Amino acid sequence: MFSLAFNPSVEADIRDTRFWYNDKLQNLGDEYQEKVLECFDGILSNPKSTPIQFDNVRVRRIQARFPHYVHYEIFDETNKILILGVLHAKRDRELTKERNTNIF
């Protein structure tokens, strides 16, 4: 069974986007955060259902309403899934590569 680990930047990714959406429409940011957590649950229950996109990183869309993706890497040897970022679709993948540090 896998467990999740998070790059330190993930919390800020979610928080900043949540605030941005809440500024646009009341409670929209809260809905965004809820969908992110549901996406994490989906990754945890079936981590390999999303194909590798680049450098062993998998990219899974949160939900159709939000153009944000969870970038993650699976480490079979430690049964860990490292969440690298929760990023808007237009953010550069280089940011994910910079965060891709093996913390295990």
Going along the chain from its start, the domains and CATH numbers come out as 3-99 (3.30.2310.20)
| Per-residue pLDDT reduced to its tens digit, 17-55 | 999 999 999 999 999 999 999 999 999 999 999 999 988
pLDDT at 96: 66
Task: Give the mean model confidence (pLDDT) for residues 1-24.
Answer: 95
pLDDT > 80? residue 11: yes
Question: pLDDT tier at 90 (50, 70, 90 boundaries)?
Answer: confident
Give one DSSP letter per residue of 31-89, joined into a string. Answer: HHHHHHHHHHHHHHHSGGGSPEEETTEEEEEEETTEEEEEEEEEETTTTEEEEEEEEET
Distances (CA, A) of 16 to 58, 61, 87: 22, 18, 11
Cβ–Cβ < 8 Å for 2, 80: yes
pLDDT at 93: 64
Q: Is 68 exposed, middle or buried (0-12, 13-18, 19+ CB in 10 A)?
A: buried
CA distance 51 to 61: 12
> Mean pLDDT over all residues of the chain?
90
